């Protein structure tokens, strides 16, 4: 088993650089050589190369003419992937040095770091993580080069079996026969890996930290052995690491499950896995958001409908959901025919097939279009139990769903109206930084390429016409059409994918929806699937964390607490609370025989925006002492003035036409 170079031709290799210039190099030239020929500073900064868009090792000989880019730490995504991948290798080496007999399995880079799964009988402890991390820093300082080798498949399998690495041997056995078996060394330690890697361990830097240990089944299958997964995070700089750790700390403080308990908003329990028990305060928040969206829809010309939960499987088979989405659906066996054929019902995972059924009732004319049909639709999806997370990912949820049936000529204007509505809502809800992405055709999909070409280009045109910058996501579309995704950045810098607009030519055809055109003939409508919030449960969970529970007054579950200083003011406090409720405010009355400082502290923990404190003086003068959440100051106001001010402040945003955005 020896190292093998990639074959190169005897002819000169033509390299096209990012600026469009072309340079020729002798056979065997590497990416490092190219970087050095351009500038010493670039050679020093180089981490890897991109050959025709694919990241490869800097030391790889160039075998053919290609487009080439030198990857440095300025290429944030590529640099982070390399750093995190290498950090996983360094961690695996540290583990096997410190804990002999531990087997390594797989160790990829992930969104904010890396992990590696280990087979070891003794559980890792927090103290072990400290030792492993210390050794990792030492390996980085040793600055060992990463070197690539190609091994014979059979010899590689036998080798890993001989050293007790049965998981590595199994990985190689399961690789396609055409796969080249590559090994990467960092000094004496080595690992099966496709690469690419940084030039040396020293290029990883010291901006990493081991975070936790968790259990993980080999290859994600509960029938297999349980492994130990060590998670770490890694960044380009110490500053980035510090910012990430601060974000984690803030996220823990803002965790919607923690705040949900403290604010008495909701709970989940095993007897209804994946469903939410909304408490009175949480339901007040839910209804406030729902009513706000409903008012926006009325202004925007939507009609609201309500559709069933259970459908015969024939509807979902016709729509394509049964075959392409069936694993995510809950199915109910209704009956078995005499010849043994089972009849199934499906619990709806989305509302679109049902809305087509309403559209098909009665004859529709081009004059009826566009028809904007909305529903706060209750849906169920068979999410894996391990993926469930508070109210952010559930099995039972409500979508602020709508479908716009229109002609092809109306798509542009309808998209424009939707974008305006969408961005206005996000601004009202406190989200200013928004990214737009266009998700394109997935591998498993309905329809032909020509139809997908038309749908994808239709959304591109709509986005450009509204001056919305967007990133394209190949393979991420729905199975029936491409979609525009809106990604919101919250108060601590996390991104959340929320609203979508999907352009669909498939369902109207499959479910036989039609309208009579100006020519008197039948035509298929275009179907625009759109959601602003997406799942209300998820959006509320996100908002709890974004606001850290401190909602603006119009959304707050409890808007005002009326609290007494002395029992002599109890009757007056009751009148104040009644007057506030009559004005439409959500009010809590606290006349407990407790000190006012205790009451203030407790209601502050409940994140109540306003406290009206009353004592004997306020009762005599018809006033209230107003205290705002987070402030020690108080303002003395006449009761009527306080009610007028709070009523105005608690009014939901009403302007549905706002198009201001943060693009």
Q: Catalytic residue positions?
A: 352, 381, 399, 401, 403, 483, 529
End-to-end CA distance of the chain: 55
CB atoms within 10 A of CB 471: 11
Q: Cβ distance 96 to 104 under 8 Å?
A: yes
ω into 407 cis (within 30 of 0): no
Is residue 55 left, alpha or beta, with left meaning phi > 0 and alpha meaning psi from -120 to 50?
beta
Nearest of 584, 589, 559 to residue 574 by alpha carbon: 589
Euclidean distance between CA atoms 269 and 282, whole angstroms = 16
CA distances for 464 relative to 412, 419, 468, 529, angstroms: 10, 12, 6, 19
Is residue 52 left, alpha or beta, with left meaning phi > 0 and alpha meaning psi from -120 to 50?
left
Token pair belonging to 80: 């982070």
Euclidean distance between CA atoms 131 and 302, whole angstroms = 61
Q: Cβ distance 401 to 374 under 8 Å?
A: yes
Burial class (CB in 10 A: 0-12, 13-18, 19+), 595: exposed
Residue 184 pairs with which residues in a beta bridge? 148, 191
Token pair belonging to 269: 């329990």
Nearest of 43, 21, 45 to residue 31 by alpha carbon: 43
422: which residues sit within 8 A by CB, 6+ positions away? 486, 499, 501, 532
Helix 449-465 vs helix 411-428: crossing angle, to nearest 10:
60
Name the phi and psi angles at 457, rounded to 5. Answer: -70, -35
Euclidean distance between CA atoms 314 and 325, whole angstroms = 14
Q: Cβ distance 232 to 83 under 8 Å?
A: no
Token pair belonging to 557: 């579950």
CA distances for 37 relative to 23, 43, 434, angstroms: 10, 8, 41
Strand 310-312, strand 277-278: pairing: unpaired
CA distances for 71 relative to 17, 48, 257, 458, 627, angstroms: 12, 5, 41, 34, 55
ω into 450 cis (within 30 of 0): no
Euclidean distance between CA atoms 447 and 482, whole angstroms = 12
Cα-to-chain-centroid distance, residue 362: 40
**Dihedral, CA atoms, 449, 451, 456, 461, nearest 10 degrees?**
140
Token pair belonging to 526: 């275009």
Q: Cβ distance 301 to 413 under 8 Å?
A: no
């Amino acid at each position: 088993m020896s190292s093998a170079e990639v074959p190169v031709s005897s002819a000169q290799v033509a390299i096209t650089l990012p600026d469009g210039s072309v340079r020729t190099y002798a056979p065997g030239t590497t990416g490092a050589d190219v970087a050095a020929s351009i500038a010493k500073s670039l050679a020093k900064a180089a981490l890897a190369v991109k050959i025709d868009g694919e990241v490869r090792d800097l030391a790889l000989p160039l075998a053919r003419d290609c487009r080439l880019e030198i990857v440095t730490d300025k290429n944030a995504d590529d640099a982070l992937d390399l750093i995190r991948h290498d950090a996983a290798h360094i961690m695996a080496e540290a583990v096997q040095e410190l804990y002999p007999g531990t087997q390594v399995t797989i160790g990829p880079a992930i969104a904010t770091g890396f992990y590696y799964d280990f087979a070891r009988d003794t559980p890792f402890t927090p103290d072990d993580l400290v030792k492993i991390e210390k050794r990792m820093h030492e390996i980085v300082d040793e600055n060992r080069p990463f070197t690539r080798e190609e091994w014979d498949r059979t010899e590689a399998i036998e080798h890993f079996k001989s050293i007790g690495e049965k998981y590595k041997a199994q990985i190689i056995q399961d690789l396609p026969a055409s796969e080249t078996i590559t090994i990467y060394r960092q000094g004496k330690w080595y690992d099966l890996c496709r690469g690419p890697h940084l030039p040396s361990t020293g290029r990883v830097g010291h901006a990493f930290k081991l975070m936790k240990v968790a259990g993980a089944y080999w290859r994600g299958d509960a029938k297999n052995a349980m492994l130990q997964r060590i998670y770490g995070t890694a960044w380009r700089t110490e500053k980035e690491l510090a910012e990430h750790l601060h974000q984690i700390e803030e996220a823990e403080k803002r965790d919607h499950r923690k705040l949900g308990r403290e604010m008495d908003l909701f709970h989940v329990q095993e007897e209804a896995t994946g469903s939410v028990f909304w408490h009175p305060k949480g339901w007040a928040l839910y209804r406030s958001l729902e009513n706000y969206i409903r008012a926006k829809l009325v202004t925007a010309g939507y009609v609201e409908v309500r559709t069933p939960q259970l459908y015969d499987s024939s509807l979902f088979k016709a729509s394509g959901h049964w075959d392409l989405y069936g694993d995510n659906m809950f199915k109910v066996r209704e009956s078995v025919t005499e010849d043994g054929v089972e009849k199934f019902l499906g619990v709806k995972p989305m509302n679109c097939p049902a809305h087509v059924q309403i559209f098909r009732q009665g004859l529709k004319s081009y004059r009826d279009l566009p028809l904007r049909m909305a529903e706060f639709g209750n849906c169920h999806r068979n999410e894996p139990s391990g993926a469930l997370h508070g109210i952010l990912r559930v099995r039972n949820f409500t979508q602020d769903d709508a479908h716009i049936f229109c002609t092809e000529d109306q798509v542009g204007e309808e998209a424009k109206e939707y974008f305006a509505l969408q961005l206005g809502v996000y601004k009202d809800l406190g989200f200013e930084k928004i990214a737009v992405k266009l998700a394109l055709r997935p591998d498993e999909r309905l329809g032909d390429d020509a139809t997908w070409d038309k749908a994808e280009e239709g959304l591109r045109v709509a986005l450009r016409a509204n001056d919305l910058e967007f990133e394209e996501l190949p393979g991420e579309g729905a199975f029936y059409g491409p979609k525009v995704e809106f990604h919101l950045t919250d108060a601590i810098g996390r991104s959340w994918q929320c609203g979508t607009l999907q352009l669909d030519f498939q369902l109207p055809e499959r479910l036989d929806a039609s309208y009579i055109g100006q020519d008197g003939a039948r035509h298929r409508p275009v179907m625009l699937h759109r959601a602003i919030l997406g799942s209300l449960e998820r959006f509320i969970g996100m908002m709890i964390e974004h606001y850290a529970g401190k909602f603006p007054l119009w959304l707050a579950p409890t808007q005002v607490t009326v609290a007494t200083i002395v029992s002599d003011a109890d009757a007056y406090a009751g009148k104040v609370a009644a007057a506030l409720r009559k004005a439409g405010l959500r009010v809590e009355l606290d006349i407990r025989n407790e000190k006012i400082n205790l009451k203030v502290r407790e209601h502050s923990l409940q994140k109540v925006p306003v406290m009206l404190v009353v004592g004997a003086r306020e009762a005599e003068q018809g006033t209230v002492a107003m205290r705002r959440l987070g402030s020690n100051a108080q303002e003395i106001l006449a009761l009527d003035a306080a009610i007028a001010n709070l009523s105005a402040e608690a009014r939901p945003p009403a302007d549905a036409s706002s198009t201001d955005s943060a693009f």
